[in-house]
């Protein structure tokens, strides 16, 4: 847990202050807006989330909110994501000719899922980034296909949910990361050409 998997970041952005996690209960996802102060477009070569308190942080997602945008999710369930963290998850690291664009004036939105552990805790999570030295040949699009309308009927076994995404142009898929909680059984990806 010491040091950064991406190497020393060019810049680290943290939540503005500590969040107090109660000893018990179930918390809604907490959101924290961070202004990185980007006056011009920037290209991110690598990004890594760091939970401030691993005892209570279940996962973190850091979204890119374009100027004027207040909600990270579009109507189709997609969201512009910079990087996420969950136990065992790896940071976003791209080849030298590939990077992620953050448009000028964008904000970073930390969405943190806390799990109380029996004692009151505090957390101040952060994200470290390394910038590309020049605009890349290939632009990374990182996306979440969140099924925000999935409702599992009480007592249902193996209830299925489904999401689809159509790529607007030819693309190379770098990775997938299914994420579910207690009720998740399996995930399957199908590519239709």
Pair 46, 92: CB distance under 8 Å: yes
Rounded Cα gap, residues 9 and 129, in angstroms: 5
The stretches in the chain having pLDDT less than 70 are 1, 76-77, 182
pTM value > 0.75: yes
Q: What pLDDT is recorded for position 146?
A: 76
pLDDT at 77: 65
- pLDDT for position 123: 98
How is 13-82 classified by DSSP, letter by letter? Answer: EE-SSPEEEPSSS-PPPEEEEE----SS-EEEEEEEEE-S-TTTEEEEEEEEE-TT---SB-TTS-BBEE
Q: Residue 97 and residue 136: Cα distance in Å, rounded?
A: 5
Does residue 97 contact residue 137 with C-beta atoms inside 8 Å? Answer: yes
């Amino acid at each position: 847990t010491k040091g950064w998997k991406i190497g020393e970041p060019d810049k680290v952005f943290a939540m503005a202050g500590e969040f107090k996690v109660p000893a018990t209960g179930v918390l809604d996802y907490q959101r924290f807006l961070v202004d990185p102060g980007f006056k011009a477009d920037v290209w991110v070569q690598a990004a890594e989330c760091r939970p401030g308190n691993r005892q209570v942080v279940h996962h973190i997602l850091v979204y890119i909110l374009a100027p004027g945008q207040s909600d990270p999710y579009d109507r189709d369930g997609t969201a512009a994501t910079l990087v996420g963290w969950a136990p065992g998850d790896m940071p976003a690291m791209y080849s030298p000719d590939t990077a992620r664009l953050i448009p000028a004036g964008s904000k970073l939105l930390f969405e943190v899922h806390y799990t109380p552990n029996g004692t009151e805790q505090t957390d101040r999570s952060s994200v470290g980034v390394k910038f590309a030295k020049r605009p890349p040949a290939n632009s990374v699009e990182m996306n979440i296909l969140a099924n925000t309308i999935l409702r599992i009927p009480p007592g249902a076994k193996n209830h299925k949910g489904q999401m689809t995404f159509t790529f607007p142009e030819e693309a190379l898929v770098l990775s997938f990361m299914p994420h579910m909680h207690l009720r998740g059984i399996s995930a399957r990806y199908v590519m239709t050409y």
